[in-house]
Amino acid sequence: MSTVVVHAENVGKKYVIRHQGKYGYVALRDVITEGVANGVRRLARRPVDTQQTREEFWALKDVSFELRDGERIGLIGRNGAGKSTLLKILSRITEPSEGSVHLRGRVASLLEVGTGFHPELTGRENVYLNGTILGMRRAEIRRKLDEIVAFAEVEKFLDTPVKRYSSGMYVRLAFAVAAHLDQEILLVDEVLAVGDAVFQQKCLTKMGEVAEAGRTIVLVSHNLVAIEQLCTTAMWLEGGRTVQHGPAEEVVDAYNASFAPKATGTFEDSFVTGDGSVELLSYAVLNERGSAQPLPVTGEGLELQVRIRVNRPIQRPAAGVSIWSPGGALLTSVNTTHLGQEFAPWAPGDYVLTVRLRDVPYMPGPHRVDFWVHNPGGDLYAHVEDAITFEIGQSPLYGTTEVSAGFGAVYTKVDVSVDEAEPGTASGEITAPSSPEVVAGASVRS
């Protein structure tokens, strides 16, 4: 019988959030603006309320589960659900406020890009440093060094300080160290999203090999297809609590079903981050004719309208969206800075931001949207994930009346033909077409 290697019982994590009184904090920009407008004496007479209030926030509450040798669990849920907090507790970065966690075996964790790396050290030195932090002996690291470097594809830059690495190189090397050392438990956060698609698939294949070797994996990812492919079970967290825990496919299906697409909605219950300069009020998703019905379909356009409230003047506003497929694949991510589009400064007040997508290639099904308002420097005024949902309606694609997720995430016009093979050619040999074609401006015939 396999051994229980991870046991979490009634785990909870509480943070105390302090709120300043109404007048306890005044930004310099507010002092200057109000002083010019109303006079310094009026500002000086303003009452000062320095009273602080305290709020208890439970990032996790009553979370219980256990894993045996070789089991793989995927943690899914919206941002702020408590997934990363749970990983930090499992990796002993932070202690639970209540409940208990017991681990049997060595743990390797990859929670964010560059964790355990020193920017001034070279890639080679950081492999030894990170491996030592993970509890490996020097001889063990030396034996696997070539395999780690080959997997990370950083041979040419192995003796370069990692501060000169791109984020992709960082995460490749960090994952390679964690995946190739002989740990019993591997904890992986969403950092794999930094790598390109080829490397992500390479990582998933490697984690599958690690699991087949009898090791245990805890994976946090928004890529629901990867969760279904790699994990035996999944746990859906919402507001720090377990919504559902069971076979990966069942949990993912239930999670997807929770995103009931709506043509309109508000952000009242959404997890919105940012500095509060902008409030997100409501949204509407319309077809290319400006109506909520019928649903937008593949190949047509759609319009996303977001009503916002600006609380202070913003000189260089920008906005962006990311759109995710039903399976969790990132389909589009763009902002107005990428588009070279600039808005005029915004004064305080209500506005409607409209994002128009032309000739949408998305396949039928529910889609999720991340939306944010920022400035070109990257400062976030308001950011929300998964709060906007819309559905692409069915249309006769590929000559079929109904299209499922098995057809892929995007629609591509495809034509397939068959011709008789020319006699005398070798088996498998393809000859160039006999019709003329233009090469470098000259008419040639094969």
Q: What is the pLDDT of residues 402-430, one digit of tens each?
A: 787 778 888 888 888 898 887 766 655 65
Confidence of residue 41 (pLDDT cuts 50, 70, 90): very low
Phi, psi of 177 (to 5 degrees): -65, -50
Query: Does the pTM exceed 0.85?
Result: no
Kindly report, residue by residue over 45-69, the tens digit of the pLDDT: 544 444 556 778 899 999 999 998 8
- Residues 259, 260, 266: CA angle, nearest 5 degrees: 85
Cβ within 8 Å of residue 428, ≥6 positions away: none
Position 137 scores a pLDDT of 83
Amino acid at site 234? A
Q: What whole-number distance in Å separates Cα of residue 193 and Cα of residue 219?
A: 12
Position 115 scores a pLDDT of 66
Asked if 406 and 303 touch (Cβ cutoff 8 Å), the reply is no
Longest dimension (CA), the chain: 99
Please report the sign of the dihedral spanned by the C-alpha atoms of residue 417, residue 418, residue 421, residue 427.
positive
State the average pLDDT over residues 350-354: 95
Nearest to 217 by CA among 8, 70, 83, 89: 70
Domains of the chain, start order: 12-56 (no CATH), 59-257 (3.40.50.300), 264-397 (2.70.50.60)
Confidence of residue 24 (pLDDT cuts 50, 70, 90): very low
